Amino acid sequence: MHRSLVIALVTAACGDNVAPPTRVHDGFLHDAAGRALILRGVNLSGSQKNAPYLDDKTPADYARVRTEWGFNAVRFVMTWAAVEPQQGVYDDAYLDAVAERLGWAEDAGLTVVLDMHEDIYGEGFGFDGAPRWACDEARYAAFVPRDPWFINATDPNVIACVDEFFTRADLRAHFAGAWGHVAERLHDRAAVIGFDVLNEPNWGSYPIFQFEKDRLAPLYADVVLAVRDVAPGWVAFLEPSASRNVGVATTLPVASFPDVMYAPHSYDSMAESGGGFDPSRRQVILDNVADLAREANQLEAGLWIGEYGGNADQPGIAEYMSAQYDAAGAVSSGTMYWAYDKSSGYALLDAAGNEKPALLGAIVRPYPERIAGTPIAYAFDPTTTTFTATYTPDRALAAPTIFAVPARVYPNGYSVECDGCVYNMSAGKLAITSPPTTSPATIVIH
């Protein structure tokens, strides 16, 4: 369908002269007031990938994300198996429970992107994602799991199921239908602004450099159509193939529909293989995220890093997370930490529910939340606790520019330098009500 026609249909579905609350243009998400919206937060959570598909979080845990850590967003983990456990049968009790949690997010002041997660195709292989009925039982019976877990994507039985998913019209229709049902049940949840269609899509046996254009993009188009039939204002967060995690540049085409965020992940391949993060690879992280930003620009989309994270039990975690923060700041991208769980490894909390201080200390930092203008970059020096942000103000916008300033970073308060700006300081937040006289503008917090 022609892009202009799709835009017209979406606008009509939203009502005359009524824009969705969040739109994508000029390389950024924008809120209803026209400000660039940078989502920085957590995945919630890895515990929701498997039955019973809901973790043990409470409203207080959602509030903690906002008030104690200063984050403004959640990538809410769901699975196709949770939504459609039996073919053609949706679990509305599960979706009611999800709706309740989305209410907790709204009460906490969090923005939500729904994520349909999958790892190693689905539950038939002992992982998460597709329901068991979505592939032949003989494939599951023949499967022999191996370590590390991600090598299982190369198993011929897994590959066969992935191929079937992308080539069988009935399976694709079920997946799009499941997403459509999610939208029907949850479109009235004010915290939700969008949907991450499929986590780290695998290409199966299809040629890797043709997969995104020939198979993944058409799936995305089907799902977006199904979702926006009932939730026309939801932003589409589109991931590249899982091959992007190892440096293969995306070949996704520019989407034929509006309001798209490019949603890759950012991990260091050497750190992922064990042994911790080597600080000499800092520039690798910076260069990779710069490449992701260029790809987003080519796709006429904004950049949102849906996952980054590190093993807090291995050396170099502070340097690793600092590199990820700096890389995102250099291109003014949002980022979502994997994950808000209780366990060893990547989890923010240990098994007893206590914070991992080195990890939290490296990711809880100031950042721009809503910019009345065009973001340029942000940065933080942990040695001096100095935060710097630059942006080009749009003086036609009445809404203030907002920066998150976590109290745990500045327990004794903070000061602001902003070259003639007018501002208000409150708990965890700096509001620039009148921008600096210079352009680009620079805000310094210390």
Residue 1 has pLDDT above 50, yes or no: no
Q: How high is the pLDDT of residue 229? A: 97
Sequence-distant (6+) residues with CB within 8 A of 108 are 59, 62, 63, 65, 66, 67
Find how far residue 205's CA is from the centre of its chain: 27
Residue 3 has pLDDT above 80, yes or no: no
Which residues partner with 28 through β-bridges? 25
Question: Binning pLDDT at 50, 70 and 90, where does residue 20 land?
Answer: low
Residue 390 has pLDDT above 90, yes or no: yes
In angstroms, the Cα distances linking 329 to 87, 293, 368 are 44, 11, 9
Strand bridging mode 192-196 / 111-117: parallel
Q: How high is the pLDDT of residue 275? A: 85
Please, what is the average pLDDT of the chain? 94
Q: How high is the pLDDT of residue 66? A: 97
- The DSSP secondary-structure symbol of 412 reads T
| Residue 198 · residue 166 · CB < 8 Å | no
pLDDT in tens, 397-411: 999 999 999 999 999
Residue 432 has pLDDT above 80, yes or no: yes
pLDDT in tens, 192-207: 999 999 999 999 999 9
Find how far residue 11's CA is from the centre of its chain: 25
pLDDT in tens, 367-376: 999 999 999 9
Q: How high is the pLDDT of residue 139? A: 98
pLDDT in tens, 236-288: 999 999 999 999 999 999 999 999 999 999 999 999 988 899 999 999 999 99
pLDDT in tens, 46-82: 999 999 999 999 999 999 999 999 999 999 999 999 9
pLDDT in tens, 312-364: 999 999 999 999 999 999 999 999 999 999 999 999 999 999 999 999 999 99
Q: Which of 4, 3, 6, 2 is nearest to 225 (CA)?
A: 6
Backbone angles phi, psi at 399, to 5 degrees: -70, 145
Residue 35 has pLDDT above 60, yes or no: yes
Q: How high is the pLDDT of residue 4? A: 36
The stretches of 109-216 forming alpha helices (DSSP H) are 137-142, 156-167, 169-186, 208-211
Strand bridging mode 422-426 / 386-393: unpaired
| Residue 65 · residue 74 · CB < 8 Å | yes
Percentage of the chain modeled with pLDDT above 70 = 96
pLDDT in tens, 136-192: 999 999 999 999 999 999 999 999 999 999 999 999 999 999 999 999 999 999 999
Q: Give the domains, in start order, of the chain with CATH numbers.
A: 20-364 (3.20.20.80), 367-446 (2.60.40.1180)
Q: How high is the pLDDT of residue 19? A: 43
DSSP one-letter string for 363-392: H---EEEEESEEEEEEEEETTTTEEEEEEE
